Amino acid sequence: MGRMKGPGLFLAQFAGNEAPFDTLENISKWAAGLGYRGVQIPCTDARLFDLGLAAESQTYCDELRGICADAGVEITELSTHLLGQLVAVHPAYDLAFDAFAPQATHGKPAARQAWAVEQLMLAARAARNLGLDTTVGFTGALAFPYLYPWPQRPAGLIEEAFAELARRWRPILDAHDVQGVDIGFELHPGEDVFDGATFEMFLDALDGHERARINYDPSHFLLQQMDYLAFIDLYHERICAFHVKDAEFNPDGRQGVYSGYQPWLSRAGRFRSLGDGQVDFGAVFSKLARHGYDSWAVLEWECCLKSPEQGAAQGAPFIARHIIDVTDKAFDDFAGAATDGARNRAMLGLEGAA
């Protein structure tokens, strides 16, 4: 089994207009100084990355890799979360999600979707030019407003939603397949694909498309009160990326999983910095190691209390402590003996048996 890589840092929540967060060079040096060995780049942040240029220019991609190498980090994956969100948007969310797309597409859902699909096609080529095998992102949502079945959902509604979702994603996944790049979908409430059951529905609608994979994030499963360790056993063959993010769930007499429209600080379920929540990361890292996961462990910071700078500083050593150097020896090998078929039969009382 291979060794997990890391620690890595997802840059989306840290990028800004002031140094050291304003350029890929500066933010990579900052991350490396905290102990990170990789950075996950949000491909929609022009301060850090030019997606169109990366799709067309090997020279530009080589320069980006050089900038990161000089800083002491590698590029782990490209994040396409905001683009994937726009592949499928229920009309209830149109105004909110217009903010993720160019001004020229605002109020024009079809144009916004076409733009997002085009950008995702570019992401496949950019990832290959960067020597990456994986991008990570969201599926978008058509059915999520109908999550709770009241009034009763009409027959066929969900099946139609997933058929359409697959229709929209298949050409994108095919384009990634041409480039040899997986898409690790982050299973996230708000997306139609938010747990194991919905991932299976999506995969079935895609006829098991080989490039449709999972960006594993236990925080989202804890907030849904899922068994996030059993999830690894069930879907480890599809897990190609890992967001290391903590969360806590503290229901009371006033609120539970839905959290009563409360702000993050007042919710029963909320994201926390690594080690401050309830995710059993010792067990998570052990499960992933047991199943041979050898890609990156990437911190995604979204704490409702702790500053991003403190969360990032504490996150690198936390991840490093949890990465397991998988052994190729059994603890009692010292007491073993060479294989001897006759002795084995004798030990079982089979000596002389027919």
Question: What's the pLDDT tens digit per position in 224-246?
Answer: 999 999 999 999 999 999 999 99
* pLDDT level of residue 345 (50, 70, 90 thresholds): confident
CA distance 76 to 6: 9
Residue 34 lies in a domain: yes
Q: In this predicted structure, what is the pLDDT of residue 335?
A: 66
Smallest Cα–Cα separation from 120: which of 75, 173, 72, 158?
A: 173
Q: What is the pLDDT of residue 334?
A: 66
pLDDT confidence tier of residue 353, bands split at 50, 70 and 90: low
Tell me the angle at which helices 281-290 and 308-322 cross, rounded to the nearest 10 degrees. Answer: 50
pLDDT tens profile 74-125 = 999 999 999 999 999 999 999 999 999 999 999 999 999 999 999 999 999 9
Q: How far, in Å, CA of 246 to CA of 25, rounded?
A: 28
Whether 354 is in a domain gets the answer: no
Name 287's Cβ contacts closer than 8 Å, sequence gap at least 6. Answer: 229, 232, 233, 236
Q: Which residue has the higher pLDDT, 335 or 250?
A: 250
Give 16-75 pLDDT, tens digit per residue. Answer: 999 999 999 999 999 999 999 999 999 999 999 999 999 999 999 999 999 999 999 999
d(CA 317, CA 66): 25
Distance CA 222, CA 225 (A): 5
Q: Is the pLDDT of residue 328 over 90?
A: no
Angle 141-142-148 from CA coordinates, rounded to 5°: 90
Q: What is the pLDDT of residue 99?
A: 95
Whether residue 168 is contained in a domain is answered as yes
Q: For the residues 131-154, what does the mean pLDDT come to?
A: 97
Residue 149 lies in a domain: yes
Count of domains forming the chain: 1
- pLDDT at residue 243, rounded to an integer: 98
pLDDT (tens digit per residue) in 191-202? 999 999 999 999
DSSP secondary structure, 119-161, as one string = HHHHHHHHHHHTT-SEEEE---BSSGGG-S--SPPPTTHHHHH
Count Cβ neighbours within 10 Å for each residue of 148-179 and write b for 16 or more, e otherwise: eeeeeeeeeebeebbeebbebbeebbebbeeb
Average pLDDT of the residues in 268-285: 98
Q: What is the pTM of this model?
A: 0.94
pLDDT of residue 352: 66
The three-class DSSP label of residue 211 is: coil
Cβ neighbours, 10 Å, residue 184: 26
Q: Residues 6 or more apart from 313 whose CB is under 8 A from it?
A: 34
d(CA 189, CA 225): 12
Question: Would 353 be classed as within a structural domain?
Answer: no
CATH number at residue 183: 3.20.20.150
Question: What percentage of the chain carries pLDDT values higher than 70?
Answer: 97
> Does the residue 323 lie in any domain?
yes
Confirm if 136 and 80 have CB atoms less than 8 A apart: yes
Write the DSSP string, 227-294.
Answer: -HHHHHHHHGGGEEEEEE-EEEE---SS--TTGGG--GGG-SEEEE-TTTSS--HHHHHHHHHHTT--
Range of the structural domain that residue 291 is part of: 5-347
> 325 with 289: CB under 8 angstroms?
no
Q: What is the rounded average pLDDT of the residues 207-216?
A: 98
**152 in any annotated domain:** yes
Does residue 354 register a pLDDT over 60?
A: no
DSSP 17: S
Domain-embedded: residue 352: no
Q: What is the model's pLDDT at position 344? A: 87
- Lowest-pLDDT choice from 18-32, 281-295, 320-334: 320-334
